[in-house]
Amino acid sequence: MSLPSMNLSANAVDFIDEGHLHGLLSGEKPSAVRIREIISKSLNKEALSVEETAVLVRTDDPALHEEIFAAARQLKETVYGNRIVLFAPLYIGNDCINDCTYCAFKRSNFRAIRRTLTPEEVRLQVTALQDHGHKRLILVFGEHSRYDADFIAETVRNVYSVRSGHGEIRRVNINAAPLDVEGYRKVKDAGIGTYQIFMETYHHATYAAMHPGNTRKGNYLYRLDGLSRAFEAGCDDVGLGVLFGLYDWRFEVLAMVRHALYLQERFNVGPHTLSFPRLRPASGVKFDEKFFTTDAEFKRIIAILRLAVPYTGLILTAREKPELRRELMSFGVSQIDAGSRIELGGYTEAGDAQVMEREQFSLADIRSLDDVMCQLMSDGYVPSFCTSCYRSGRTGEHFMEFSIPGFIKRFCTPNALLTLQEYLMDYASPETRRVGEKLISEELERMEDGDMKQRTIKQLEEIKQRHVRDIYF
């Protein structure tokens, strides 16, 4: 058990030029013509520059906001189809040596009930998640010498080894402290999916105020460089994030896009996902509300990010209320968590009660996976548990190659339908199953006639009649 070294990646630089980003934000109000030019570039599925993103951020014309929203919806539909990928978070341990002002796990929060799941407790949680129908998890850790790369890798292997009925976890993502290159190699060997590190805020002074200088997380460059080290270690599947509410959202959007473009330029692969958690109430935490992000601003954030990075997944979590999640789904979100419990042991022990001292923050959407599935499908979305790309080697640079000519839609719709059919057979309530069967036949109707459609129909029958599982293209 040891903390990773603080070594940086080769040629690590602080690429967040605040003067430049603030300069872009203080430019004059853009014309409608300019906004539309940028929108059409994005609709052609070209990533936007930071400067172009800034133009979208700068407009305060509600009619142009509506055009941005409509474009985000259109882009989501053309790149991802009507598919929404579902996952659940699994908190493994909340010991933490840092003192992030906004987080209930901070070391100075003596009210927090500290706990690290034992391997057997992890298995129980995973069994419960499988029994609800989950196939994709994100494991979440505080920062502590107990949670070193060996521990994370061991936990990942443990999760993959659990089998309950037809259940299995096919993809394990990680949200944990930054590692060193050697540490990333270890977790990669355990078969992780995405390694997420949220920068929280890219604004240096705010970062320093939120993360005391005498803590590991207080080192801005070490965190900023965290995912570059992952690439150096061969992990080409990474997720960025900003905790909205700490500083001006406009600045954070530009900085996150800058980070995405930096990774793309340096490693030839952009981030796989972007996350945009908003601050939630948490035990032992008092907030300065100055930079709280309103729902209206939040919508703009998501739509602008959708347009800025057309091929990057956008993750919307259960920190947001069900109604808002429902509305934001159409803005270009590609992944959501559902049936989430974030207290340690919460999938078997806590029921629906949220006990602040046991969790990092409170959730606003604690509906069951089945309820979320049913609503998504009633709204015309296809919930997907697909993990095919990662398991067929379509990640990183290859994933980009596949995604650009529209492969996502061609592979993803059939795979989403296959994983949905599995869910309907094994876990769905009668109502969800009824809604789901109808949706699957409508989706099949819509598919182009041809080999892929025939194969999909045949595989759906294999799942239904012969109880075959884990079929994918």
Torsion of CA 83, 68, 401, 399, to 10 degrees: -50
d(CA 368, CA 341): 10
Q: Within a 10 A sphere around the Cβ of 351, how many other Cβ atoms?
A: 8
User: Which residue lies nearer to ligand SF4 by CB, 72 or 176?
Assistant: 176
We find the least distance from the C-beta atom of residue 470 to ligand SAM, in angstroms, to be: 30
Of residues 190 through 249, those in contact with ligand SAM by CB under 6 A are 197-198, 200, 243
Q: Each residue of 420-442: b (16+ CB within 10 Å) or e? A: bbbbbebbbeeebbebbbebbee
User: Which residue lies nearer to ligand SAM by CB, 56 or 140?
Assistant: 140
d(CA 116, CA 369): 25
As given in the structure block, the two tokens for residue 427 are 């876990």
Provide the mask over 349-388, with x wherever binding to ligand SAM is found by CB under 6 A and - wherever it is not.
-----------xx---------------------------
Contact 86, 378 (CB under 8 A): no
Q: Within a 10 A sphere around the Cβ of 158, how many other Cβ atoms?
A: 18
Closest CA to 75 of 411, 305, 353: 305
d(CA 305, CA 413): 23
We find the least distance from the C-beta atom of residue 3 to ligand SF4, in angstroms, to be: 12
- Exposed / middle / buried, residue 157 (Cβ in 10 Å: 0-12, 13-18, 19+): middle
Closest CA to 440 of 425, 426, 460, 459: 460
* Residue 106 contact partner, candidates ligand SF4, ligand SAM, none, CB within 5 to 8 A by sort of partner: ligand SF4
Of residues 132 through 161, those in contact with ligand SF4 by CB under 6 A are 142-143
* Residue 260 contact partner, candidates ligand SF4, ligand SAM, none, CB within 5 to 8 A by sort of partner: none
Contacts of 89 (CB under 8 A, 6+ apart): 137, 138, 139, 140, 175, 317, 337, 340, 342
Amino acid at site 148: D
Of residues 206 through 225, those in contact with ligand SF4 by CB under 6 A are 217
We find the least distance from the C-beta atom of residue 199 to ligand SAM, in angstroms, to be: 9
We find the least distance from the C-beta atom of residue 203 to ligand SAM, in angstroms, to be: 14
Instruction: Work out whether 100 is an interface residue with ligand SF4 (CB under 6 A).
Output: yes
User: Which residue lies nearer to ligand SAM by CB, 237 or 422?
Assistant: 237
Single out the segment in contact with ligand SAM by CB under 6 A; choices: 27-35, 140-148, 156-164, 411-419.
140-148
Q: Within a 10 A sphere around the Cβ of 354, how many other Cβ atoms?
A: 17
Instruction: Work out whether 346 is an interface residue with ligand SAM (CB under 6 A).
Output: no
- The site that binds ligand SAM (CB under 6 A) totals a number of residues, namely 21
d(CA 228, CA 224): 8
As given in the structure block, the two tokens for residue 221 are 């460059």
Among 38, 85, 103, 156, binds ligand SF4 (CB under 6 A): 103
- The site that binds ligand SF4 (CB under 6 A) totals a number of residues, namely 9
User: Which residue lies nearer to ligand SF4 by CB, 101 or 429?
Assistant: 101
User: Which residue lies nearer to ligand SF4 by CB, 106 or 229?
Assistant: 106
Q: Within a 10 A sphere around the Cβ of 96, how many other Cβ atoms?
A: 24
Instruction: Work out whether 245 is an interface residue with ligand SF4 (CB under 6 A).
Output: no
Among 69, 80, 87, 105, binds ligand SF4 (CB under 6 A): 105
Secondary structure class of 33 (helix, strand, coil):
helix
* Residue 198 contact partner, candidates ligand SAM, ligand SF4, none, CB within 5 to 8 A by sort of partner: ligand SAM
User: Which residue lies nearer to ligand SF4 by CB, 130 or 360?
Assistant: 360
d(CA 344, CA 358): 7
Q: Within a 10 A sphere around the Cβ of 446, how many other Cβ atoms?
A: 11
Provide the mask over 147-186, with x wherever binding to ligand SAM is found by CB under 6 A and - wherever it is not.
----------------------------xxx---------
As given in the structure block, the two tokens for residue 291 are 């930079």
As given in the structure block, the two tokens for residue 469 are 């599982």
We find the least distance from the C-beta atom of residue 103 to ligand SF4, in angstroms, to be: 3
Phi, psi of 13 (to 5 degrees): -135, 155
* Residue 424 contact partner, candidates ligand SAM, ligand SF4, none, CB within 5 to 8 A by sort of partner: none
Among 167, 277, 332, 383, binds ligand SAM (CB under 6 A): 277
The site for ligand SAM (CB under 6 A) is made up of 102-103, 140-143, 175-177, 197-198, 200, 243, 277, 279-280, 282, 285, 319, 360-361
The site for ligand SF4 (CB under 6 A) is made up of 96, 98, 100, 103, 105-106, 142-143, 217
